Amino acid sequence: MSGPTKRCFNCDDSFQNFRKLTEDERDHVASVVEPEDADSYWRCTHDGCLRVQSYFNYKDGFDLPKSLR
Ligand SMILES: [Zn+2]
């Protein structure tokens, strides 16, 4: 069930498992990036990490608000 392993800047630039976004997370991402791009963003599963980033480019990402922790 684990997703792809990607580099995460928030986690000391280490490799972490990422998962697809929940509906709430996706809604937030769609309000930040182009809505049609939201489905290409995945979330870091490391404890306490709020980073979402593009599946295709680990440098293209940002933090979710704490309310989505
Ligand atoms: Zn992370």
37-47: per-residue pLDDT in tens?
999 999 999 99
CA of 45 to the centre of ligand 1 (A): 7
Report how far ligand 1's centroid is from the alpha carbon of 60 (Å). Answer: 13
For residue range 6-39, what is the model confidence (pLDDT) as tens digits? 999 999 999 999 999 999 999 999 999 999 999 9
Reduce the DSSP state of residue 59 to 3 states and report it: coil
Whole-Å CA distances, 64 to 1, 39, 52, 53 = 23, 15, 7, 10
Quote the pLDDT of residue 3: 80
What are the Cα distances from residue 7, in Å, to 1, 16, 30, 64? Answer: 19, 6, 22, 17
Angle, alpha carbons 37-17-26 (nearest 5°): 30
Q: How confident is the model at residue 2 (pLDDT cuts 50, 70, 90)?
A: low
Ligand 1 centre distance from Cα of residue 36 (Å) = 23
Q: Domain coordinates of the chain in residue numbers?
A: 5-60
Res. 55: pLDDT tops 70? yes
